[in-house]
């Protein structure tokens, strides 16, 4: 195993209790040696590229999962709730908000996809947002930054989502 660079592999990947150890490159073919179980294989280097990525590179960029449908929002200075009749209630009232505009805005939230998602480490929470889902679950969000990018912390996942500043303005202003 030593001659293949597998005694101290450059990376390890475990999938369903099977471990893959990534070793050196073959000097003639530039293929990588990979060991799993009692066997050593040569693979093309592009198949191993993702193994060397940071773990958070694989984190979902969408703020809400497929089964999470927002039906209520408590934003700074504004509360919006969709009733059982499908109509939105806005407090304080804003007459310029049509039902179509509110539905499109709620869809923007449901489909919000960040440029980057990563574990939250530290940062001052500027304002809080509460999102109520159709399932009855409540999601607590915090605004960490507004400029030059809009950063939200999803507290139940301890993940922060980085959006362009324009997305933040759109999400906060229906």
| Residues 81, 155 share a domain | yes
Q: Which of 155, 69, 68 is nearest to 106 (CA)?
A: 69
Q: Is 135 exposed, middle or buried (0-12, 13-18, 19+ CB in 10 A)?
A: exposed
Q: How confident is the model at residue 1 (pLDDT cuts 50, 70, 90)?
A: low
Give the count of beta carbons closer than 10 Å to the beta carbon of residue 129. 19
Better-predicted residue by pLDDT, 27 or 95: 27
| Residues 158, 92 share a domain | yes
What tens digit of pLDDT does each residue of 22-38 get? 999 998 898 999 999 99
CA atoms of 134 and 69, how far apart (whole Å): 6
| pTM assigned to the model | 0.69
Q: Do the domain assignments include residue 146?
A: yes
Cis ω on the peptide bond leading into residue 148 (within 30° of 0)?
yes
Q: How many domains does the chain have?
A: 2
Q: Do the domain assignments include residue 84?
A: yes
Q: Do the domain assignments include residue 60?
A: no
| Residues 130, 82 share a domain | yes
Is the pLDDT assigned to residue 53 strictly greater than 70?
no
| Residues 88, 29 share a domain | no
φ, ψ dihedrals at 156, nearest 5°: -70, -25
Domain that holds residue 16: 2-53
Mean pLDDT of 29-51: 87
What pLDDT sits at residue 52? 64
Q: Do the domain assignments include residue 100?
A: yes
CA atoms of 67 and 140, how far apart (whole Å): 17
What tens digit of pLDDT does each residue of 118-160 get? 888 888 999 999 999 999 999 999 999 999 999 999 999 999 9
């Amino acid at each position: 195993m030593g001659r293949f660079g597998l005694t101290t592999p450059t990376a390890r990947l475990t999938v369903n209790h099977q471990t893959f150890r990534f070793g050196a490159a073959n000097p003639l073919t530039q293929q990588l040696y990979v060991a799993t179980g009692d066997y050593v294989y040569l693979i093309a280097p592009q198949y191993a590229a993702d193994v060397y990525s940071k773990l958070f590179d694989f984190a979902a960029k969408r703020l809400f999962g497929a089964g999470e449908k927002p039906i209520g929002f408590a934003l700074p200075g504004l509360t919006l709730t969709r009733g059982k009749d499908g109509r939105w209630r806005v407090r304080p009232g804003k007459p310029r908000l049509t039902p179509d505009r509110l539905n499109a805005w709620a869809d923007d939230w449901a489909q919000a996809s960040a440029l980057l998602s990563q574990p939250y480490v530290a940062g001052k929470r500027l304002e809080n947002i509460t999102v109520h889902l159709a399932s009855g679950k409540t999601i607590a969000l915090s605004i960490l930054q507004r400029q030059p990018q809009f950063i939200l912390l999803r507290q139940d996942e301890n993940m922060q989502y980085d959006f362009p500043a324009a997305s933040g303005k759109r999400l906060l202003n229906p």
